[in-house]
């Protein structure tokens, strides 16, 4: 019971963190068709900017200011970089963001150094909100869940209930039509890219404090964010939300299971070496790799993803 | 950091072309990461070597020859290390030092063995200051390799010795990264606990993929559920930090015994979440005892603005000087023979280089991350405080080494 | 094809042979040999990658998988030779790598080649991550963190090469680099090679004329995997060690960077890219810590301003010579090159100053002049150079071009 409750709670938290990270990516992809390889890098910039700001003006102003700064950087990147390669096609755009991720990491090392920075949970949120089965649950984690949920609701309302959102929805299925209708597509692109990066920055403000703020944080989180977006269905916000929670829970519950292949074989009546190199691998051991297995399976059998509108 | 200026490299090239007979400097090749994610660790090691090279040069050098540290950036990649090793040999270097990463050390040992076999006239000596895979002084021992840090098994001997004295810590949880080192720690812990304190119960034995876990809360939940009294981990870097942060979040108040709790950058990232919780086993730390090393540490830290960390680099350099004196030469084979069995007096006591497997025997210290220390690390205000000292001989392990010495 | 044109097609190959034969006498040091060997391995790897990206239009983020598996295959066979249970020349090990790469390509390619474009890229990324994780987990196969090592001086000798000294390994690398390059070039001339271009450009059209694009992609993928495995086999013999890091996303990313910087539009582009990147990685790191930063900048500049890569620039010069308009465009180009150089120099000074200020290390030295990051002058110099370069590249060319043609500016 204890394990189930905590696995559910931790899975939910991890899933929501993944959603915060991937929501911006989904937004950018749905509007522009750009799979932003550097998305996790903007998450990293968010964490570092928040670290610098919070040591000066405190955590709360940084929470609002850092995403704005990251969003501005994103808009600049779109205006003076991405737009130039847009005409060369999606592969060129993907390569551009790939190089950008590389460059941002180097730049971050240059500015903030190569070691982790002491960016942690602010004092105002550093207390246990409740104790369950003798385990404390920190307030910051609950705060994070609230922010992520607000993000989902806010984005959902933006997409479904506003004019701008309808345009984005239209762009999902009829990208050219939006342009034909006379909208300033380049400006929309710049805004969408900026907002998407800003969302990643917001995830960084919170994720950086929760986890570790260091130059490799983008590299280690990058691939998993893609998994979420692809599994959820590229461009689908609800899909990304469902996929985030699914991956979070899947991975967390898998960690709680110590059963190995040998146990499975024993269950159906075969006896194999329980400590063998292959047969001794437990589900818990490979839990963090499960999302990638899911990614490959989804792409092969259901390339639209769970709730996607189009393949690529 | 300045490696070598273009001009200097050209100058070296012409010198070598003119005949490399300049005998008044001995170059030591430092092969470690100087760019990329681990650059700071490599840079710290380099500064320690340069600092002690200066000290030795001021003190007569190696039989009058001055030491020059030449740094090579291996990007912490085994193949790149081999290219850099070739470059070092090209520059006429016959002593190389390296420490970061057992995979790198393994590649260098292998390459040095082959090089010395294929080029018996220009052998190379490898002094390892930090790579801790026990195999290097057991099955894979080499006449050309000497290790100045305690290996993973020796450190585990020390940890389990201490655990045996603590009867209140009955339930042990082992967690580690799923690769050779994590598995070696896991195996050693299981083996030694069974031998020394069979009454202790191992309530968990877990591996997780290297560097892939973002939130360790599920693992902490498991540890909590197992009712463990103490956690042993070989984790380092981010895997170490995240484990400790999650433990702090969930209020898991048991000691976490680590190898790399004091690794560069880790104390900063862990911050106050590690206080009283993280313990590390090392050959030395800044608050060991009152040994009169303060002036030296102050001098180093004033000069380089980083923490004094590698006491063993000092031992390595001093023993090298002594070996050169004893052998009357800086020729690698002569140095190796002189280092075998060498005893050396240091502030922490007598340390000995085992002749049978080239492993340095030195006392080890178990310490806890604390805010009540004279010298802090990484300007955090926190540092390590000694709990327990394990004498050198107690850490000594059986060796399966069959040393082949050149005739 | 007439005799003269076939002769002309052979000319670059003869030149390459001559170059390969002369290189050891020009650069006889161990350092040079180890760098040249690394280039030989990487250029085969980059060419095999370009078979996918440049010729087949398939963007892969997991090509290291085939390189690594081929290398491990060769390494295990080398172990068998050493143990005496197999009588096979070490010289032929790249063929083992090739075979393993082919098989791996056939197995992994079967599901992944059913998709193209971005989904294909994502599958390759996912598989790359999975194999990289497995590499650390299966110790008996991949040797754990320390990998597996072997001894290349075993088994029967070929061409009288003991393969002991690195100078002899050079001939081994040169042989296979040449053979593999020639084979990959020949592949582009086969019907399948041509078809893969057609599929890249428009897979629907390829389908209309009766070819299954999925099948074409699959076949190209298998062969590309084979050559990547061959490069892995070369690497196994050269370094005598393979570690699971070989599978990492960094290696897959590096080969993408090499191929793209060199130019994916021409056959020889990746050769230029591999040469440049290996030299930057192994030699530039002696002089600056910021070498990775420079590679990143170079990559971005190529993506944004010269999608044809270095080879694209070479082709433009060649075209100008062919059309006999070199003299007309030369002044503009000279200005462009000059501005670009000023910009590059300015950027290098700026980056170095920042790096050294950050690391509190010794001042940089450029052409014998010490540029101290504590003083104003070097920073000013960098900014002025950057500004001049930008002006030259953006505004000046047209105006100067008009001036040169005698028009009003």
pLDDT tens-digit series, residues A162-206: 877 777 667 656 667 777 777 777 787 888 889 999 999 999 999
Of the listed ranges A94-98, B34-38, C123-127, C168-172, the least confidently predicted one is: B34-38
Partnered with residue A264 across adjacent β-strands are none
pLDDT band at B6 (very low <50, low <70, confident <90, very high): very low
Does B46 contact chain C (CB < 8 Å)?
A: no
A131-169 tens-digit pLDDT: 777 777 788 888 888 999 998 898 888 877 887 777 766
Kindly determine whether residue A118 and residue B271, on different chains, have CB atoms separated by under 8 Å: yes
Highest mean pLDDT among A213-227, B269-283, B331-345, B377-391: B331-345
With vertex at residue C38, the alpha carbon angle to CA C33 and CA C42, rounded to the nearest 5 degrees, is 150
Distance CA B366, CA B230 (A): 14
Question: How confident is the model at residue A129, as a pLDDT?
Answer: 74
> Is the CB of residue B175 less than 8 Å from the CB of residue B338?
no
pLDDT > 50? residue C1? no
Torsion of CA B307, B310, B315, B316, to 10 degrees: -130
Percent of chain B with pLDDT over 90: 39
Q: Do C364 and B2 touch (CB under 8 A)?
A: yes
Q: Which residue, among B174, B217, B222, would best test binding to A if mutated, counting the most A CBs under 10 Å from its CB?
A: B217
Check A299 against C253: CB less than 8 A apart. no
What's A162-223 look like in SS3? CHHHHHHHHHHHCHHHHHHCCCCHHHHHHHHHHHHHHHHHHHHHHHHHHCCECCCHHHHHHH
How many angstroms separate the CA of residue B225 from the nearest CA in chain A? 7
Q: Which of A286, A288, A295 to mutate to test the interface with B (most CBs of B within 10 A)?
A: A288
pLDDT at B52 over 50: yes
Structure confidence at residue C368 (pLDDT): 64
How far apart are the C-alpha atoms of C208 and B350, rounded to whole Å?
Answer: 83
Q: What is the pLDDT of residue C362?
A: 66
Residue among B73, B79, B103 whose CB faces C146 most closely = B103
Q: How many CB pairs under 8 A join A and B?
A: 113
When CB atoms are compared, the residue of A91, A219, A226 closest to C122 is A226
Which chains lie within 8 Å of chain A at 3 or more CB pairs, if any?
B, C
Interchain CB contact of A113 with B (< 8 Å): yes
Query: Which of the given ranges, A242-251, B176-185, C39-48, C132-141, has the highest pLDDT on average?
Result: C39-48
Task: Give me the DSSP letters along A14-39.
Answer: HHHHHHHHHHHHHHHHHHH----TTH
Most confident of B82-96, C201-215, C383-397: B82-96
C260/C275 Cα distance (integer angstroms): 13
Radius of gyration, alpha carbons of chain C: 24
Q: Judge: B241–A212 Cβ closer than 8 Å, yes or no.
A: yes
Task: Please say if the pLDDT value at position C223 is more than 90.
Answer: yes
Measure C391 CA to nearest chain B CA, in Å: 30
Q: Which chains touch C (3 or more CB pairs under 8 A)?
A: A, B
> Are the Cβ atoms of A299 and C354 closer than 8 angstroms?
no
Q: Is the C-alpha dihedral spanning B225, B226, B232, B233 positive or negative?
A: negative
| For residue A128, pLDDT beyond 70 | yes
Would you say residue C403 has pLDDT above 70?
no
**In B334-360, which positions are buried (b, 16+ CB within 10 angstroms) versus exposed (e)?**
bbbbbbbebebebebeebbbbeebbbb
CA–CA gap between residue C179 and residue C185 (Å, rounded): 10
- Is residue A297's pLDDT more than 80? yes
Identify the closest residue of chain B to A216 by CA–CA distance.
Answer: B37
The answer to whether the Cβ–Cβ distance between B179 and C145 falls below 8 Å is yes
Q: Cα–Cα distance between C213 and C244 in angstroms, integer?
A: 33
Q: What 3-state class would DSSP assign to A234?
A: coil
Paired strand residues for B62: B65
Distance separating the N- and C-terminal Cα atoms of chain A: 42
CB-based contact, C362 to chain B, within 8 Å: yes
Contact flag A300-C57 (C-beta cutoff 8 Å): no
pLDDT digits (tens, 9 = 90+) for A59-79: 888 889 999 999 999 999 998
Structure confidence at residue B70 (pLDDT):
92
Chains that touch B (3 or more CB pairs under 8 A): A, C
In chain C, residues with a C-beta closer than 8 Å to the C-beta of A91 are 57, 59, 117
What six digits make up the tokens of C128?
């790359």
Nearest-10 crossing angle of helices C213-239, C30-50: 170
Cα separation, A57 vs B64, in Å, equals: 57
State whether residue B360 is helix, strand or coil: strand
B87 and C CB contact within 8 Å:
yes
**Residue B242 touches chain A, beta carbons under 8 Å:** yes
3-state secondary structure B155-172: HHHHHHHHHHHCCCCCEE
CB contacts under 8 A, B 146-205 vs A, are: 178
- For chain C, count helices (H), then strands (E): 17, 4
Mean pLDDT of chain A: 82
Tokens encoding C178: 């040449």
| Closest CA–CA distance from residue C275 to any residue of chain A (Å) | 19
- Give the count of beta carbons closer than 10 Å to the beta carbon of residue C41: 29
The predicted pLDDT at position B315 comes to 93
Between CA C187 and CA C181 the distance in angstroms is: 10
What pLDDT score was predicted for residue B11? Answer: 40
Q: Of chain C residues 364-393, which have a CB less than 8 A from chain B?
A: 364-365, 367-368
pLDDT: which is higher, C255 or C113 = C255
**C292-326: burial string, b at 16+ Cβ within 10 Å, e else:** bbbbbbbbbebbbeebbbbbbbbbeeeebeeeeee
Report which listed range, A69-83, A217-231, C4-18, C353-367, is most confident: A69-83
DSSP result, C150-180: --SS-S--BTTB---SHHHHHHHHHHHHHHH
* Residues within 8 A of B (CB atoms), C 94-113 only: none
Q: Is A286 on the interface with B (CB under 8 A)?
A: yes
pLDDT in tens, C177-187: 999 999 999 99
- Interface contact C146-B73, CB threshold 8 A: no
- CA count, 13 A, side-chain hemisphere, B327: 20
**Residue B12 — pLDDT band, cuts 50, 70, 90?**
very low
Mean pLDDT of C348-362: 76
More confident: A306 or B86: B86
Residues of C in contact with A88 (CB under 8 A): 307
Give the pLDDT mean for B283-311.
86
pLDDT of residue B336: 95
- Smallest CA–CA distance, residue C144 to chain B, in Å, is 5
Residue pair C86/C194 in contact by the 8 Å Cβ criterion = no
Which pLDDT value is given to residue C351?
A: 82
Adjacency order of strands within the sheet including B95-98: B66-73, B25-32, B95-98, B125-128, B145-147
Kindly report, residue by residue over C297-308, the tens digit of the pLDDT. 888 888 888 888
Contact C156, C246 (CB under 8 A): no
Q: Using the predicted structure, report yes or no on whether residue B211 has a pLDDT greater than 80.
A: no
Nearest CA of chain C to the CA of A16: how many Å? 22
Nearest to A192, CA basis, from A21, A27, A20: A27
Query: Which helix or strand (DSSP H or E) is residue B104 part of?
Result: helix B102-118
A138 touches chain C (CB under 8 A): no
β B95-98/B125-128 pair status = parallel
DSSP for residue B332: H
Asked if A92 lies within 8 A of C307 by C-beta distance, the reply is yes
- Nearest chain C residue to A277 by CA distance is C138
A115 contacts B264? CB cut-off 8 A? yes
Distance CA C92, CA C95 (A): 6
Q: Are B24 and B78 a contacting pair, CB within 8 Å?
A: no
C400 falls in which pLDDT band (50, 70, 90)?
low
Which of A10, A117, A216 is the closest to B37 by Cβ? A216
Q: Please judge whether B209 and C153 are an interchain contact, meaning their C-beta atoms are less than 8 angstroms apart.
A: no
pTM attached to this predicted model: 0.83
Distance CA(B335)–CA(B319), nearest Å, equals 10
Radius of gyration of chain B (CA): 21
pLDDT tens digits for range C62-110? 999 999 999 999 999 999 998 888 888 889 999 999 999 999 999 999 8
Report the range of poorest mean pLDDT among B104-113, B346-355, C214-223, C343-352.
C343-352
């Amino acid at each position: 019971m204890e394990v189930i409750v905590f696995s559910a709670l931790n899975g939910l938290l991890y899933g929501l963190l993944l959603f915060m990270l991937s929501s911006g990516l989904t937004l950018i992809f749905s509007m522009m068709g750009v799979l932003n390889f550097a998305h996790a890098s903007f998450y990293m910039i968010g964490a570092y900017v928040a670290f610098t700001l919070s040591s000066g003006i405190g955590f709360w102003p940084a929470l609002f200011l850092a995403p704005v700064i990251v969003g501005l950087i994103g808009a600049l990147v779109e205006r003076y970089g991405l737009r130039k390669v847009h005409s060369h096609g999606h592969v060129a755009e993907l390569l551009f963001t790939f190089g950008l991720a590389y460059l941002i990491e180097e730049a971050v090392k240059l500015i903030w150094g190569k070691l982790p920075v002491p960016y942690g949970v602010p004092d105002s949120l550093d207390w246990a909100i409740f104790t369950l089965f003798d385990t404390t649950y920190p307030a910051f984690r609950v705060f994070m869940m609230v922010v992520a949920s607000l993000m989902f609701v806010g984005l959902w309302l933006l997409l479904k209930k506003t004019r701008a959102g309808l345009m984005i929805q239209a762009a999902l299925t009829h990208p050219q039509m939006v342009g034909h209708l006379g909208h300033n597509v380049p400006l929309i692109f710049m805004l969408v890219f900026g907002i998407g990066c800003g969302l990643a920055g917001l995830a960084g403000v919170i994720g950086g404090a929760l986890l570790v703020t260091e130059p490799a944080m983008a590299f280690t989180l990058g691939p998993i964010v893609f998994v979420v977006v692809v599994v959820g269905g590229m461009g689908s916000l609800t899909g990304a939300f469902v996929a985030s929670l699914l991956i979070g829970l899947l991975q967390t519950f898998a960690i709680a299971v110590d059963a190995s292949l040998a146990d499975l074989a024993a269950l159906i009546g075969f006896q194999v070496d329980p400590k063998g190199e292959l047969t001794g691998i437990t589900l818990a051991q490979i839990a963090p790799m499960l999302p990638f297995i899911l990614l490959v399976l989804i792409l092969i059998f259901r390339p639209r993803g769970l709730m996607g509108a189009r393949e690529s | 950091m300045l490696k070598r200026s273009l001009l200097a490299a050209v100058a070296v090239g012409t010198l070598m072309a003119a005949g490399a007979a300049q005998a008044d400097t001995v170059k030591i090749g430092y092969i470690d990461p100087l760019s990329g994610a681990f650059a700071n660790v490599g840079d710290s090691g380099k500064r320690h070597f340069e600092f002690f090279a200066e000290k030795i040069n001021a003190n007569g050098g190696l039989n009058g020859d001055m030491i020059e540290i030449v740094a090579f950036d291996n990007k912490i990649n085994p193949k790149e290390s081999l290219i850099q090793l070739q470059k070092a040999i090209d520059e006429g270097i016959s002593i190389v030092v390296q420490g970061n990463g057992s995979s790198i050390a393994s590649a260098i040992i292998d390459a040095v063995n082959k090089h010395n076999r294929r080029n018996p006239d220009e052998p190379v000596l490898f002094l390892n200051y930090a790579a801790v895979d026990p195999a290097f002084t057991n099955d894979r021992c080499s006449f050309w390799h000497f290790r100045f840090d305690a290996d993973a098994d020796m450190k585990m001997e020390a940890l389990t010795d201490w655990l045996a004295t603590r009867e209140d810590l009955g339930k042990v949880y082992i967690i580690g990264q799923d690769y050779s080192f994590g598995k070696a720690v896991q195996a050693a812990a299981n083996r030694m606990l069974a031998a020394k304190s069979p009454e202790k119960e191992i309530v968990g034995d877990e591996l997780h993929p290297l560097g892939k876990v973002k939130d360790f809360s599920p693992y902490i939940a498991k540890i909590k559920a197992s009712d463990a009294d103490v956690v042993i981990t070989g984790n380092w870097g981010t895997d170490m930090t995240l484990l400790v942060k999650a433990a702090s979040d969930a209020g898991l108040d048991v000691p976490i015994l680590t190898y790399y709790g004091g690794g560069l950058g880790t104390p900063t990232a862990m911050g106050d979440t590690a206080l009283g919780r993280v313990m590390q086993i090392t050959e030395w730390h800044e608050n060991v005892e009152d040994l009169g090393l303060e002036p030296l540490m102050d001098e180093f830290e004033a000069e380089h603005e980083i923490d004094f960390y590698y006491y063993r680099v000092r031992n390595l350099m001093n023993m090298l000087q002594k070996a050169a004196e004893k052998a009357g030469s800086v020729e690698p084979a002569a140095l190796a023979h002189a280092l075998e069995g060498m005893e050396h007096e240091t502030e922490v006591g007598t340390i000995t280089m085992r002749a049978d497997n080239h492993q340095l025997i030195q006392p080890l210290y178990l310490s806890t991350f604390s805010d009540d220390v004279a010298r802090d690390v990484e300007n955090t205000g926190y540092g390590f405080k000694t709990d327990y000292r394990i004498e050198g001989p107690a850490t000594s392990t059986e060796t399966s080494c069959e040393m082949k010495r050149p005739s | 094809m007439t005799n003269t044109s076939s002769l002309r097609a052979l000319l670059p190959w003869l030149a390459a042979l001559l170059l390969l034969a002369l290189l050891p006498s020009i650069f006889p040091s161990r350092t040079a040999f180890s760098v040249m060997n690394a280039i030989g391995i990487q250029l085969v790897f980059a060419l095999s990658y370009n078979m996918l990206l440049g010729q087949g239009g398939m963007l892969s983020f997991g090509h290291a998988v085939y390189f690594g598996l081929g290398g491990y295959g060769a390494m295990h066979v080398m172990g068998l030779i050493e143990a005496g249970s197999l009588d096979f020349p070490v010289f032929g090990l790249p063929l083992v790598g090739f075979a393993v790469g082919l098989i791996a390509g056939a197995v992994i390619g079967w599901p992944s080649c059913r998709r193209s474009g971005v989904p294909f890229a994502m599958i390759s990324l996912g598989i790359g991550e999975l194999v990289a994780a497995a590499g650390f987990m299966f110790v008996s196969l991949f040797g754990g963190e320390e990998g597996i090592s072997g001894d290349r001086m075993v088994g029967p000798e070929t061409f009288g090469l003991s393969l002991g000294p690195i100078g002899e390994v050079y001939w081994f690398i040169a042989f296979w680099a040449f053979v593999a390059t020639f084979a990959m070039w020949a592949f582009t001339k086969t019907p399948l090679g041509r078809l893969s271009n057609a599929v890249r450009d428009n897979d629907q059209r390829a389908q209309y004329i009766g070819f299954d694009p999925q099948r074409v992609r699959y076949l190209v993928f298998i062969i590309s995997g084979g050559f990547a495995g061959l490069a892995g086999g070369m690497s196994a013999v050269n370094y005598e060690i393979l570690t699971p890091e070989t599978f990492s996303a960094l290696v897959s990313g590096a080969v993408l960077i090499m191929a793209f910087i060199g130019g994916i539009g021409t056959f020889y582009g990746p050769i230029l890219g591999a040469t440049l990147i290996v030299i930057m990685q192994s030699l530039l790191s002696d002089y600056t810590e910021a070498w990775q930063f420079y590679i990143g900048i170079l990559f971005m500049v190529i993506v944004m301003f010269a999608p044809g890569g270095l080879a694209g620039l070479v082709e433009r010069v060649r075209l100008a010579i062919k059309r006999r308009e070199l003299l007309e465009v030369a002044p503009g180009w000279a200005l462009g090159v000059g501005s670009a150089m000023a910009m590059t120099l300015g950027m290098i000074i700026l980056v170095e100053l920042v790096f050294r200020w950050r690391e509190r290390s010794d001042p940089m030295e450029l052409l014998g002049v010490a540029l101290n990051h504590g003083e104003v002058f070097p920073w000013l110099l960098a900014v002025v150079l950057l500004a001049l370069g930008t002006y030259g590249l953006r505004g000046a060319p047209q105006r100067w071009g008009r001036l040169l043609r005698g028009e009003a500016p």
